[in-house]
Amino acid sequence: MNDQQNFFKLLKCSNELKKNNKYLDKEDPEAFDTLLKFLVRIEDNLHYSEKQEYIELAKDFLADQITADDFSYSFMAIYEGIGETLGQMKIKESLELTNFLKSSRPELGELLARIYGSCDSYSPDPEVEIAMSDEKELKGFAQSLLLKLQEE
């Protein structure tokens, strides 16, 4: 059984269990881990497919055309938007998913997840307790993202 067949089999199984208020991670943790790895790979590739959005955003921020606050909201919008698209494709068991089951981009995925965390924790109001990142950190991430996407 190839990756594609295995992935759809696990996805179908997971969706069937969900309909019965059960979860694959509880029923078969090993199968869930395998499915999660496929999904992570697909997600990374989906993000890469939208690399132009990320590049434009990072450039605008580094050129001070947008504020750190705007960057944080816009980055999260792209990241979450792609997550929602994937969610819909999972529910539909869309065959389009196979297009993204290519080689993984773990470094990009990891970087994007970290930038998301930084954006989520950013607030222009320093008194917000959960504001644990600042503009400097976001600028550093924007620079890294730009380099990463341009080299790939």
Partner 1 sequence: MTKIKYRKVNYEIKLRNKTINFLKGIIYKTYRITKVICKCGVVQKVTIGFVTVVVALGLRFGSLRPVEPIIQSQTQIERQLQHSRSTQPYQAMEVSKSSAVRNLLKLSGGDLGKGSSPGARARSDARKAITNRPKAAKSKPGGSSFAEAWAPNPSKRSRSAAANRLAQQFQTGQVEGGNGLFGRFSARPTPNPYNPGCAGGPRSITVLSGQRNSDSSTNLTAYDGFEAKLTDKSENHLTSKHGDKFGVDDPLPRNPNQKSTKYEQTRTRLNNENKAKVRESIKSILSNTKSDVYTDVSIRGIQGRVYHCKDTNRVVGIQTEGEFAGQIMKAQPISERQLEFLRELNILD
Supply 84's token pair: 């929602």
CB 71 within 8 A of CB 54: no
CB 131 within 8 A of CB 122: yes
Examine residue 113 and tell whether it contacts partner 1 (CB under 8 A): yes
Distances (CA, A) of 35 to 51, 84, 144: 25, 18, 29
Return the residues of window 25-84 that contact partner 1 according to CB under 8 A: 25, 33, 36-37, 39-40, 42-44, 50, 53, 56-57, 60, 70, 72-74, 76-83
We find the least distance from the C-beta atom of residue 2 to partner 1, in angstroms, to be 21
Picking from 15, 14, 43, the residue whose alpha carbon sits closest to that of residue 106 is: 43
Nearer to partner 1, 12 or 113 (CB): 113
Examine residue 109 and tell whether it contacts partner 1 (CB under 8 A): yes
CB 102 within 8 A of CB 3: no
Q: Pick from 5, 19, 63, 127: which binds partner 1 (CB under 8 A)?
A: 127
Nearer to partner 1, 40 or 139 (CB): 40
Amino acid letter, residue 95: L
C-alpha 98, offset from chain centre: 17
Examine residue 100 and tell whether it contacts partner 1 (CB under 8 A): no
What residues make contact with partner 1 under the rule CB under 8 A? Answer: 21, 23, 25, 33, 36-37, 39-40, 42-44, 50, 53, 56-57, 60, 70, 72-74, 76-83, 86-87, 109-110, 112-114, 116-118, 120-121, 123, 125, 127-133
